Amino acid sequence: MRTKSNFNGDDHLYLQVAEGLEKMIAEEVLRIGDKLPSVRMLSEDYGISMGTAFQAYYHLEGRGLIESRPKSGYYVRFNHRRFPDLPNTIQPEALSHDVSVKEMINSIYTDIAAKEITNFALAVPDASLLPSAKLNKSVVYALRNTKDHCVNYELTQGNLELRQQIAKLAFNWGGKVKPDEVIVTSGCLEAIMMCLKAVAVYGDTVAVESPTYFGINQAIESLGLKVVEISTDPVLGADLVYLEKAIKKFRIKACVFVPSFNNPLGSCMPDDNKKKLVEIITKHNIPLIEDDIYGELYFGKNRPRTCKYYDTKGLVMYCSSLSKSLTPGYRIGWTIPGKFLEQVKQMKRIQNISSPTLTQAAMAHFLKNGRYEFHLKNLRKALHTQSLRYVQAIIKYFPADTKVSRPHGGFILWLELNKKVNAFKLRTEAMKHHISIVPGKIFSAGNNYSNCIRISFGKPWNKEVDEGLMLLGNIIKGMIH
């Protein structure tokens, strides 16, 4: 325990405490993700008032070094000594073109099966972060308590209780949604696919962010649609001026955007931009398919709003799922497709009649009992800590010119590497060492991002991850020289 004698005057006491803590962070005595003492403990420890202790934390928080987490206290957030630059925004060729990314993606999903791989490629939270025991309980409950033990078809639109729970989830982003407005799907990608089919036909043009999730590009290609890529900023999301220009140039029939914690950039469009985006698409009467799959995985105090929140004309077709936040294997997604409800329901019926009865009933039970909200609180904290640990390792192991995104949610990092690096070769090389990453090129229909990679930080920090990133860093260093 220290005494007041360490300090030279009450006015700067909080600054001195803060500086002391900052030094400990810089020297990694306090590491990213570590919990700081409570305000009361700090005050007792340094022999300062509670107010001064609070001021010290407030100061450090303002500098981005620590953060408060609701009902939990303060945590080390970042070590600013060598913060890498952000990846560049690319202005994609302003031409609509056929998507052709098929060949490139085929190899990625085979990683699912590989067991001995350090998988930075698959964008899912690690199974250890998922509440499988409680999920099991909900399955057994559903088996016992659903009519005919779930052997019958569920409604095409989906289990009513599950839709009630999904409608309730919309409260989180300020939405007022009725269960009748929701359609349950087999994952978010199916929801996007069906929304696309409901509003666009062969040969139509669709706007997407650049870079964007390759599944979206593939869905568009498979329907014979063309794509216009909209320049997207790693912090602010899609460039709305660029979008308006594209709308003037092309007959855009729909937009498919991931406004919150975009995959792969991690960018989160500010609420004002979301509002503006909805104004633009409303003015031009263009449906917006909003992929909000990462929306609940925010690291900040508040959940970001959705575009759907600002929708007045039923043009926003909201899509989400539990695959990124609870369980990929259950394949539970949904859409709230506004005025296109009947068309999308029709598409669901034609595709596979309905989603499985059992998994829907189980999820309804899980959500109804507040287990999802409880789980999310823990998951957000874990992912936030993981994001910081991963970035720190990248700073440590990767070349100094590596540029890294700063996601405030989700579990994906976007890295822009030295121009000499061919990310496809990097992937091949890394796979020889049983490490998988996703090359950036597949996130665009054009010939962009060939020196970019996506890294998932869904896996909790451990020795394997540390060694994996070190190895990856070394491979990259070798490719530059």
Kindly list the residues in this chain that would bind a copy of itself in the complex (CB under 8 A): 102, 106, 109, 112-113, 122, 124, 127, 130, 132-133, 135-136, 139-140, 143-144, 148-156, 185-187, 189-190, 193, 197, 201-203, 215, 218-219, 222, 224, 323, 327-331, 346-347, 349-359
Choice between 144 and 248, CB closer to a copy of itself: 144
Choice between 200 and 286, CB closer to a copy of itself: 200
Choice between 231 and 456, CB closer to a copy of itself: 456
At closest approach, how far in Å is the CB of 351 from a copy of itself?
6
Choice between 193 and 227, CB closer to a copy of itself: 193
Choice between 69 and 375, CB closer to a copy of itself: 375
**Placement of tokens 């929801």 in the chain:** 191
**Residue 188 neighbours by CB under 8 Å, 6+ apart:** 291, 293, 319, 320, 321, 323, 333
At closest approach, how far in Å is the CB of 221 from a copy of itself?
8
Please list the alpha-helical segments (H only) found in 204-339.
Answer: 214-222, 240-249, 271-283
At closest approach, how far in Å is the CB of 471 from a copy of itself?
24
CB 334, CB 444: distance < 8 Å: no
From CA 201, how far away is CA 206, in angstroms rounded?
A: 10
Q: Which residue type sits at 463?
A: K
At closest approach, how far in Å is the CB of 448 from a copy of itself?
21
Number of H helices, E strands in the chain: 15, 17
At closest approach, how far in Å is the CB of 227 from a copy of itself?
14
What tokens were used for 357? 């009865």
Choice between 113 and 241, CB closer to a copy of itself: 113
At closest approach, how far in Å is the CB of 101 from a copy of itself?
11
Q: Which residue type sits at 82?
A: R
Handedness of CA 129, 132, 137, 138 (dihedral sign): positive
From CA 255, how far away is CA 243, in angstroms rounded?
A: 10
Strands 288-291 and 316-321: parallel
What tokens were used for 129? 């972060």
Cα angle 397, 108, 288; round to 5: 100
Choice between 42 and 135, CB closer to a copy of itself: 135
Estimate to the nearest angstrom the gap between the alpha carbon of 232 and the chain centroid: 15
From 96, 146, 3, 84, select the one nearest 415 (Cα to Cα): 84
For residue 228, the cross-strand partners are 207
Choice between 217 and 402, CB closer to a copy of itself: 217
At closest approach, how far in Å is the CB of 342 from a copy of itself?
8
Q: Is 413 exposed, middle or buried (0-12, 13-18, 19+ CB in 10 A)?
A: buried
At closest approach, how far in Å is the CB of 263 from a copy of itself?
14
At closest approach, how far in Å is the CB of 458 from a copy of itself?
11
Choice between 55 and 357, CB closer to a copy of itself: 357
CB 208, CB 448: distance < 8 Å: no
